[in-house]
Amino acid sequence: MRDIVKQSQQVFLLFLLTILAFFLRFLGQPTIPYGFHRDEAGILYSAYSIVETGRDEWGRFMPLHFKALGDYPPGIYNYLVALTIPIVGLVPLAERLPAIIFGSLLVPLSFLFINSIFKNKKIALLSAFLITISPWDIVQSRAGSEALVALVFSILGMWCFYLAIKHSRPKLIIITLISYFLALYSYNAARVGLPLLHGMLVWYLWPDLKQKQFRRQLMLIITLFIFSIASVFATPGRQMSFQNTSIFTHPNLSSVSEIAFIRESSLRVPAVVSRVFSNKPVNIIYEFIDNYFSYFSFGFLFNDAGFHKRYLVPRSGPLLVILLPFIILGLSKYSELKRREKLLLIGWILLAPIAAAVTEEATPNVKRSMYLFFPLLILAAAGFIGTIKLLKSQPQSIYYKKYLPNIVICTTLLVLGWNFAFFTKQYVIHTKYETVHHRSYGYFEVFAKTEALEDQYERVYVYENVDTPHLYYLITQQFPPQQYQQIPTEQKRDLFMTEKPNVNIDQYTFVPHTCPLPEEIREKALYVLPAGCFNNKKLTAVISEVELVNSTDDMPLFYLAHRSTK
């Protein structure tokens, strides 16, 4: 009876943590975080196009890789967004809702996974609590991250595989296969990271695997991995994206080698010496090592020294800094974990950054390293519980046993609370000013103003060379995907085109330049210009302001202008 009561209390506590996790990720949406990044806008309209026509905005039928902005990301997240649009409408919340739900579901899933493998409910519950207040999980959930969805599917698959092997339930292998497939087609980093982590799990379960003869199921999973990785090269656009980001094919590493060779030649260094030490393989090795160890730096884990900037919280990292001593204690002999369990987590941590380290750009990256933070939180939980257990087991006086552990617990909770409150303050307030310009802020406000003015003009020209503002127009107007699909491909635009065309939609022309030339300004036309254009005196001599869109710090962001009548 006592066990039933304890179990019901644990279920109730886990339920409360899940509800708390949902509110921490949902409250303030879609205002916080401020801005709606172009990637989010692209996913939202692609999903809307799927809902309306079964094809993406480029006219491709139910793709596994969406063309998107030209980088061909995996498409599972797009389909999840397609499920939310009929419920909440074509609004930013629809794009973020799947990540909010998956980020909340990670809390009970982590408890089930950790309790099954480590057989320790205290570690499982404390880990679930740490995930509830995890800065990485909260930020990724609130910003519509595909990486978070891939992480949840990965852990679900690994948990089912563990149960299938450990408890002789081979039918769960089917759920493993489905979960792994969904993870691999949710985010690209999973295609390298998940096979490595599954290999660690196979090592952990190897005694059971040899006894129960699950080689057939293992071959099925290996086949799935080969299929998913091969699909990268089966998609021409996806292959192009891989070549532009991988350290093995990135053009920068080749150019560095050539520059070094030329310089050494001018200094009369023998050619054979230059070829041995200044070549692309050497550069790749050094680049990988540099990238890999950047993921274990204090700045990346506990501060804002990472990429992409739209996910960063000033002076706060993916992990709360109070957890650092307990992560270290989780690796020590005072941890609650057994030796083989520690080795599993250490292997997990060491393998997690590999997928991120083989990319050249935006390193260290908080999305590509999504597998890294989960085992660190488990170590922190194990280190804290082991520390309290050690204090209670010391042969000192009864007062020592009674009060010191409670003092440590209360002090840790107070510091943890302060640490989380600091993160919350930084996220709610400082991202509004310090990182908002990385999240394409202002376009919805722009098109709300142009919609009220467009009847007064024959044409509206929108200038922007970095973002893709036409996506925001499509969303604001709920532009029919059937009509957008009929626009010829060469008249559409993605971020990777060498020569970007003007995009014409209804009365609007979206020009891929920062500012127009003075002689291009037409009468009876409205111009949407970045604020920097008004620093050009020749341009301001022929235009006048109609409306102004400010950034969150009340600084000019976009001007709506027309030809001056002076």
Average pLDDT, the chain: 88
Q: pTM of this prediction?
A: 0.92
* pLDDT one-digit tens code per residue, 330-379: 998 888 899 999 999 999 999 999 988 988 778 899 999 999 999 999 99
- pLDDT at residue 97 above 70? yes
Residue 566 banded pLDDT, cuts 50, 70, 90 = low
- Over residues 469-496, the mean pLDDT reads 91
Backbone angles phi, psi at 125, to 5 degrees: -70, -45
In angstroms, the CA 232 to CA 238 distance is: 6
Number of H helices and E strands in the chain, helices first, is 26, 6
Q: Beta 556-563 vs 525-530: how paired, if at all?
A: antiparallel
- The helix or strand, by DSSP H or E, that contains position 182, with its residue range, turns out to be helix 172-184
* pLDDT band per the 50, 70, 90 thresholds, residue 199: confident
Does the structure show a pLDDT above 70 at 406? yes
Share of the chain above pLDDT 70, in %: 87
Confidence category of residue 65, pLDDT binned at 50, 70, 90: confident
CA distance 170 to 285: 41
Burial class (CB in 10 A: 0-12, 13-18, 19+), 334: middle
With residue 393 as reference, give the H or E element that holds it.
helix 373-393
- The Cα 202–Cα 199 span in angstroms is 5
